[in-house]
Amino acid sequence: MNIFKKIALSTAIVAAFAAVSAPAFAAEEHGDKNAIVKAAAADTIAKVNEAVSIAEGNGDKAAFIAAISDARQAQKEFRYEQTERLRQKLNDKLRAAREAADQGTMSEAGAAAKAAADVLKEMKEIYDAAHK
């Protein structure tokens, strides 16, 4: 009789865990992936353009580095299979811009930021063409 009580208790505990965990997994947020990618693209474009204008304008090193860092973070969400290689190229350009700014050569940093803007424009065109 003790074995039957243990089996019944174990079954009840497993059923309780299953009842509690199933709604928790079902409540997982499934947002619109296209909206996330479009927002990331817009944010990345804004930050790269900001970095370009800083490089062309007053050349404030700290503001330039902050804009480039924000762009590098935002581009991580701008993921689309057909533009993945371009995203890697964009990241390389942004890294080169930051390194040039760290070394104090704002003209090279600005040129790298402009190159990043060109790559970003190409990525956006490919993404927009596929998501009309």
Q: What is the pLDDT of residues 25-81, one digit of tens each?
A: 554 455 577 888 889 999 999 999 999 999 888 878 899 999 999 999 999 888 888
Read off the tokens for 44. Answer: 């990345």
- pTM of the prediction? 0.72
Q: Are 23 and 92 in contact (CB under 8 A)?
A: no
- Architecture in CATH of 33-130: Up-down Bundle (1.20)
Q: For residue 59, how far is the Cα from the chain centroid?
A: 26
Closest residue by Cα to residue 109 from 75, 78, 69: 69
How far apart CA 99 and CA 95 sit, in angstroms, is 6
17 neighbors 40 (Cβ within 8 angstroms): no
Residue 36 pLDDT: 87
The residue behind tokens 């353009």 is 49
Phi-psi category of residue 35: left, alpha or beta, with phi > 0 → left and psi -120 to 50 → alpha? alpha
